[in-house]
Amino acid sequence: MDQAHLAADLALAAGDLETRLSFSALGERSLVVRDLATDGPIGSWPGGPIVIGVDRAAALPAADPEYDVLLTTAPEAARPWVSRGDIDAALAQIRATLARAPVASSLAASVVRTGEGLSFEAALTIESLAYSALLGGQEFQRWRTETPRSASVEEDGPPVRVDREGGVLRIILSRPGKRNALSAAMRDGLCDALGLAALDPSIASAELSGEGETFCAGGDFQEFGSASDLASAHVLRLTASAALAAYRVRERLSVRGHGAIVGGGLEIAAAAADFRVRPGAQMWLPEVTMGLIPGAGGTVTVPRRIGRQRALYMMLSAARIDVATALDWGLVDGVIP
Cα–Cα distance for residue pair 101/153, rounded to 1 Å:
30
Buried/exposed 291-316: b ≥16 CB within 10 Å, e otherwise = bbbbbbbbbbbbbbbbbbbbbbbbbb
Q: Is the pLDDT confidence value at 3 over 90?
A: no
Cα–Cα distance for residue pair 116/307, rounded to 1 Å:
9
Q: What is the pLDDT of residue 44?
A: 66
Cα–Cα distance for residue pair 255/267, rounded to 1 Å:
12
Task: Give residue 156's pLDDT band: very low, low, confident or very high (50, 70, 90).
Answer: confident
Give the tens place of pLDDT for each residue, 279-311: 999 999 999 999 999 999 999 999 999 999 999
Give the tens place of pLDDT for each residue, 223-261: 877 777 888 888 888 889 999 999 999 999 999 999 999
Whole-number Cα distances in Å, 246 to 74, 194, 291, 308: 35, 6, 26, 21
Give the tens place of pLDDT for each residue, 312-326: 999 999 999 999 999
Number of H-type helices and E-type strands within the chain: 13, 13
Q: What is the mean pLDDT of residues 129-144?
A: 94
Q: What is the mean pLDDT of residues 133-151?
A: 88
pTM of this prediction exceeds 0.75? yes
Burial class (CB in 10 A: 0-12, 13-18, 19+), 40: exposed
Q: What percent of the chain has pLDDT over 70?
A: 91
Cα–Cα distance for residue pair 200/197, rounded to 1 Å:
5
Q: Which helix (H) or strand (E) holds 160?
A: strand 160-165
Give the tens place of pLDDT for each residue, 69-88: 999 999 999 999 999 999 99
Cα–Cα distance for residue pair 327/337, rounded to 1 Å:
14
Contact yes or no for 272/254 (Cβ under 8 A): yes
Cα–Cα distance for residue pair 274/283, rounded to 1 Å:
16
Closest CA to 109 of 118, 98, 96: 98
Q: What is the pLDDT of residue 238?
A: 87
Sheet holding 82-83, edge to edge: 31-35, 50-55, 69-72, 82-83
